[in-house]
């Protein structure tokens, strides 16, 4: 019997890279680091960079059979696209109830997905949970404008960017060295996939949907 595994690199780092870029750009807008009349430019960046990177990450996460991560980065990609489009078509400093509801619902779903990702990878799960908080704060601000909330969302975005950048570095070093270099807080199946034997790494693959026995 032969098990054929498709050699796909981890899509986590490209997804987290997109998240870091988006978080810095949006936080810069929220905290007043860039002028409000550059809102449309920020919208273009959100569409051109994080949306594209996270769509790629979503596709390859599912190809790598990581549905939890695929769902998270796919939702992030769609949310950044929506925010970018709203920035493009709305006047500067305008608030949108529709965008507020989108951000709150996206934040809630991300929080739920983070709990699933945490079963194997605590570090990415923490970044996703922080992103959920950032979206909820920004969504509430869209529904009920408040300088406190928009600044809180901006600060939360910078924290997300910092953790996302650390995640990119930690997992890239791990991929290059084939061993943990910086703490990534892998758990259970996530740890076994990197440090376990062959039997642990395939992780009951024979019983998963989409796999067929060959003799």
- Could you tell me the CA-to-CA distances from 27 to 21, 138, 149 in Å, in that order? 10, 10, 12
Greatest CA separation for the chain: 65
How many helices (H) and strands (E) the chain has is answered by 9, 0
**How distant, in Å, are the alpha carbons of 3, 203, 210, 211, 214 from that of 207?**
12, 9, 9, 8, 14
Amino acid 1: pLDDT: 47
Q: Domain limits of the chain?
A: 12-182
Q: What is the pLDDT of residue 192?
A: 47
| Neighbouring-strand partners of residue 196 | none
Residue 179 to residue 33: CA distance in whole angstroms: 39
CATH superfamily entry for domain 12-182 = AmiS/UreI transporter (1.25.40.600)
pLDDT at residue 150 greater than cutoff 60 = yes
Instruction: Identify the weakest region by mean pLDDT among 75-79, 162-166, 203-207.
Output: 203-207
Contacts of 67 by beta carbon, 8 Å cutoff, 6+ apart: 61
Percentage of the chain with pLDDT > 70? 78
Q: Are 18 and 145 in contact (CB under 8 A)?
A: no
What gap in Å lies between CA 63 and CA 210, rounded to an integer?
A: 11
pLDDT tens, 168-202? 988 888 877 666 666 775 654 544 455 544 454 45
Q: Which residues, other chains included, contact 135 with Cβ-Cβ below 8 Å and sequence gap of 6+? A: 79, 103, 104, 106, 107, 110
pLDDT, tens digit, 9 for 90 and up, residues 9-53: 778 899 999 999 999 999 999 999 999 889 999 999 999 999 999
Where does the pLDDT of residue 164 fall: very low under 50, low under 70, confident under 90, or very high at 90 and above? very high
Residue 181's pLDDT is: 66
Q: What is the pLDDT of residue 40?
A: 93
Q: What is the pTM of this model?
A: 0.81
């Amino acid at each position: 019997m032969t098990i054929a595994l498709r050699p796909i690199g981890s899509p986590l780092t490209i997804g987290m890279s997109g998240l870091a870029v988006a978080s810095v750009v949006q936080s810069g807008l929220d905290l007043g680091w860039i002028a409000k009349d550059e809102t449309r430019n920020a919208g273009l960046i959100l569409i051109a960079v994080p949306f594209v990177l996270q769509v790629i990450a979503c596709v390859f996460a599912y190809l790598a059979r990581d549905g939890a991560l695929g769902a998270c980065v796919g939702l992030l990609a769609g949310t950044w696209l929506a925010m970018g489009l709203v920035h493009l078509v709305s006047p500067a400093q305008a608030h949108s109830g529709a965008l507020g509801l989108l951000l709150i619902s996206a934040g809630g779903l991300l929080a739920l997905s983070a709990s699933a990702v945490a079963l194997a990878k605590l570090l990415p799960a923490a970044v996703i949970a922080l992103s959920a908080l950032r979206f909820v704060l920004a969504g509430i601000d869209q529904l009920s404008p408040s300088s406190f909330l928009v600044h809180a969302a901006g600060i939360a975005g910078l924290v997300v960017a910092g953790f996302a950048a650390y995640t990119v570095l930690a997992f890239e070093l791990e991929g290059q060295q084939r061993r943990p270099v910086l703490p990534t807080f892998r758990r259970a199946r996530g740890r076994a996939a990197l440090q376990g034997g062959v039997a642990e790494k395939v992780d009951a693959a024979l019983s998963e949907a989409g796999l067929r026995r060959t003799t």
